[in-house]
Structure 1
């Protein structure tokens, strides 16, 4: 959904004529909440991402979701490492959206380091169950 701009951000809802009382990003409160900003132009989401996948900070500009996925797919090495990085990336996108919803609807916020630690732990547990040939 993120790749095709189908996440219901404030920008998407406004484009559909739905009024949002606070259209700013819940992470930084600076910019309009858009798919592009939320994943990964916002400082909060970018810091979360590079804490988990540091090689993504090697881009000249912050990558969008499509660029990051292409980069991970092109990494040299075993499929296991790519699969782990893809799982980590997808989990990051999922958890960022979930954290955005927690901040918007439950008035609860986590710092990016806590969120990154939770994502890393969850992915580590999931990957322990993988069976490799």
Structure 2
């Protein structure tokens, strides 16, 4: 934040309001190219929020917590071998990488990257229907959310679920969410693809 408004800025406002003053104090940020993809209505709201935080590098990973003196250990709670940060969690960690591999195979995709930002960009550039892109993005959002949930489960309950159990939860969540918010204007081909995905 800038911290203050000049007299000229206040006088130039058509009508003074707290909202306008607050907005003028905020820094001007460039719109992120991935924002519309993350906030697509097919995704579960809490999954979108956690992924948005991950994309902005705002999740409180152990690396960040160690820097501010909250913990003296910065190793990943899932694999226990590497520093826990955004890049490691999504999806360089052995645990999260195996989860994502299972989910991506289930979705029928084989991206050449495991980096979250590059993965979102890869989906955006694919020459497939909007619905299929939405389902794949929902898969990414759901995987990010459940990896973060497992981190918290490991931290607070000292438990880590088996990868196959996490993947089953992810698949069921994707199926349930898409079934609830399924757009009307989905082609027969895409409906068949989704049905094969959830029944196969």
Name the TM-score, length of structure 1 as normaliser: 0.90
1:132 aligns to what? 184
Q: CA deviation at 1:85?
A: 0.4
Q: How many residue pairs end up in the alignment?
A: 129
8 Å CA contact 2:91–2:97 kept in 1: the answer is yes
Among 41, 62, 81, which residue is 2:92 paired with?
Answer: 41
Match for residue 7 of structure 1? Answer: 59
Q: Which runs of 5+ in 2 are unaligned?
A: 1-52, 186-200
Structure number with bigger Rg:
2
Map of 1:115 onto structure 2: 166
Q: Which runs of 4+ in 1 moved over 4 A?
A: none
After TM superposition, give the deviation of residue 21 of structure 1 in Å.
3.7
Q: Tell me how far apart the structure 2 counterparts of residues 53 and 76 of structure 1 sit (CA, whole Å).
A: 17
| SS across alignment from 1:118 | helix
Distance in structure 1 (CA, Å) of the matches to 2:157 and 2:80 = 16
RMSD of aligned residue pairs (Cα, Å): 1.4
TM-score for the superposition, normalised by structure 2 = 0.61
